[in-house]
Structure 1
């Protein structure tokens, strides 16, 4: 399949590792010039991206730094992937144990970073008839399955995508959402990260916990999703091959979500 993305420019947030880095690599392989942003620019991001930007995307200043750098480097943006998410404030805590500060931190990174990036990119996206993909989560559909603030923020992100698709579709901009289930990233695989905390809370060794995820989460395929699989879906949705797909939420979870 020819995606015909060569000549395009893109911005990818949360690009230092995981889904974001895989997306930068997938787009670059299609000939796209990519600005990738992360709080910490990794050697892998430097190698894969046309432009690697260090920015705290939970702040308005950080988003402004990224978008200004991308617009200066490329003189216009065709594609935007709002992938940055989770963050240090996401913990396996219940509602009564989630403070106002945690709510604010989760929404700043998981929702408002996308709001700000879209606002900055849309004039160029309208001019170039571009495309946006927002990376949400199946937690937006299964709120009981994860931290309450994170689930609410991801549900809001999916709703934002619908609204943007409706408002800017007549002006040539497509907006879609991708909602992964468990993906093989540091969120789960880092013993000091979210997955490690969940394992500890369940009284399990981290390695044993990871091995049980497909069964415990009811993943039909029997395995977690790879970052490259999510990146492939994102890249397809950004391309003109998917030119009549907009306003949709595309789940990639190995069959975790059982509802219609």
Structure 2
């Protein structure tokens, strides 16, 4: 299926690995021009190097960074059609999961919201005027199943993502009549570096269970999280949903929240 993305200009945050890298690769394959931002370029983006890809190194904890990244898209490619707010998770210096709500003080909460919510607010604020100049656009926010399924060991993260999901719905109402669609994709556990890196979540679960990391990824975590499919999702599966929502083929889809979560969320 042609997603009709050829020539469109996209910004993707958190683009150097995991879901963000898969989204960047998918949009490029569909003919889009992409401004990819992350703290470092990384080997994944290096492998995608081409004239249609520009990497902007940025720390989204810096309040000025989101606007600078969006401006780079206009300077380089002449405008903006798509914004994918993918960057998220534990901010620098923070490790998840936590043991308890009581383990996070005010500074940890501020950092979590700065990275997972305020950076998104700033990127959207910068992107909307550029999209309006072109008659519309698509914003896709990558949230989390924890936005709707609270977890006591990730409570600050879940609260920030719940706010992000609420933001997307509100934006879709205000700007839908002006041609800007805003949708949310809410993954469950995904085989990203957060899980698979040394010292990541898989290693934490393996240590607690007295098992190997492969068992933690393939068996223990899916059972612990009651995943219907019996496995963690692949980043490409999230990227496919993001690309479809960014596409004009989804012209009547806005304000939606798509769970791509291996059956993690069971509630209606």
Same fold, TM-score > 0.5, yes or no: yes
> CA 1:90–1:158 in structure 2 vs 1: closer, same or farther (change >3 Å)?
farther
- TM-score, normalised to structure 2, is 0.92
1:20 aligns with 2:40: no
Q: 1:205-224 CA distances to partner (integer Å, 9 max, x unpaired)?
A: 43332221112211111111
Consecutive unaligned residues of structure 2, counting only runs of 5 or more, are: none
> CA 1:13–1:166 in structure 2 vs 1: closer, same or farther (change >3 Å)?
same
2:151 and 2:221 map into 1 onto residues whose CA distance is: 16
1:259 aligns with 2:264: no
> CA 1:113–1:127 in structure 2 vs 1: closer, same or farther (change >3 Å)?
same
2:216 and 2:262 map into 1 onto residues whose CA distance is: 18
The Cα shift of 1:250 comes to 0.3
Which residue in the other structure is 1:178 paired with?
Answer: 185
Q: Residue 172 of structure 2 contacts residue 181 of structure 2 at CA under 8 Å; is this kept in 1?
A: yes
Q: Secondary structure at the match of 1:86?
A: coil
1:59 and 1:202 map into 2 onto residues whose CA distance is: 38
2:11 and 2:153 map into 1 onto residues whose CA distance is: 28
1:198 and 1:62 map into 2 onto residues whose CA distance is: 34
1:220 aligns with 2:228: yes
Q: 1:125-173 CA distances to partner (integer Å, 9 max, x unpaired)?
A: 1222100000000001111264110000000000000010001111110
The Cα shift of 1:203 comes to 5.0
Consecutive unaligned residues of structure 1, counting only runs of 5 or more, are: none
2:232 and 2:96 map into 1 onto residues whose CA distance is: 20
Which residue in the other structure is 1:123 paired with?
Answer: 129
> CA 1:145–1:243 in structure 2 vs 1: closer, same or farther (change >3 Å)?
farther
2:208 and 2:113 map into 1 onto residues whose CA distance is: 24
The Cα shift of 1:61 comes to 2.3
Q: 1:213-247 CA distances to partner (integer Å, 9 max, x unpaired)?
A: 11221111111110011000000001011100000
Which residue in the other structure is 2:101 paired with?
Answer: 95
Alpha carbon RMSD of aligned pairs, Å? 1.5
The Cα shift of 1:201 comes to 4.6
Which residue in the other structure is 2:239 paired with?
Answer: 231
- TM-score, normalised to structure 1, is 0.95
1:197 and 1:236 map into 2 onto residues whose CA distance is: 34
1:176 and 1:202 map into 2 onto residues whose CA distance is: 37
1:245 aligns with 2:253: yes
